[in-house]
Amino acid sequence: MLFKSISMENNSTPRLDDIDLRLLRLLQHNSNLTVKELGAKVNLSATPVFERVKKLEKNGFIKKYAAILNAEKLNKGLVVFCNVTLKEHTRTIGRQFVKDIMALKEVVECYNISGDYDFLLKIMVYDMKEYQNFVLDHLGSIKNIGSAHSTFVMGEIKHDYAVPI
């Protein structure tokens, strides 16, 4: 067969084998490992490791590479989980809320959740005074927030920065 028709192209992402998974596990704990080092751990030479990693990137299994910073040292040691409800639940109001939240740099994570509240926010600030300012100046000025309930992190027990594969 000389030519493949478009419809015959395989668009589905290929299945990951054991080595791919091991590479992903290694990289999510230390993305500075060289292809040579990775190869030593999975019993391959640099080339196939390189090609596998590139494929994992291309197929979207790896979203990006990031430096994980020390929040304490950067004066953002106070972590707060804030549950909020909206007064109304129309699409437009929801959209505006999302837009407002996206603009707040202190909000590092935001989830739409089940249960008594609508959203769960993770907020990082220096201290309680800064959190108070955040609530009063920023969160408080967002329209349509019905209620907000803050839970303070007293200690971080575990934080993997990793998908459990």
Judged by beta carbon distances under 5 to 8 A according to partner kind, the member of a copy of itself, DNA, none in contact with residue 43 is DNA
Write out the H or E segment, with its range, that includes residue 78. strand 78-86
Judged by beta carbon distances under 5 to 8 A according to partner kind, the member of a copy of itself, DNA, none in contact with residue 15 is none
In the window 13-72, what residues touch DNA (CB under 7 A)? 19, 34-36, 39, 43-48, 50-52, 54
Q: Cα separation of 139 and 8, whole Å? A: 52
Nearer to DNA, 4 or 159 (CB): 4
Q: What is the CA radius of gyration of the chain?
A: 22
Q: Cα separation of 48 and 46, whole Å? A: 6
Site membership for DNA, residue 126 (CB under 7 A): no
Q: Give how far the C-alpha of residue 27 lies from the chain's centroid of Cα atoms, to the nearest Å.
A: 16
Q: How far apart are CB 43 and a copy of itself at their closest, in Å?
A: 20
Which two three-digit tokens encode residue 69? 């910073």
Site membership for a copy of itself, residue 37 (CB under 8 A): no
Instruction: Name the residues that contact a copy of itself, by CB under 8 A.
Output: 13, 24, 27-32, 59-71, 73-74, 76, 79, 81, 98, 101-102, 105-115, 117, 119-120, 124, 151-165
Instruction: Name the residues that contact DNA, by CB under 7 A.
Output: 1, 19, 34-36, 39, 43-48, 50-52, 54
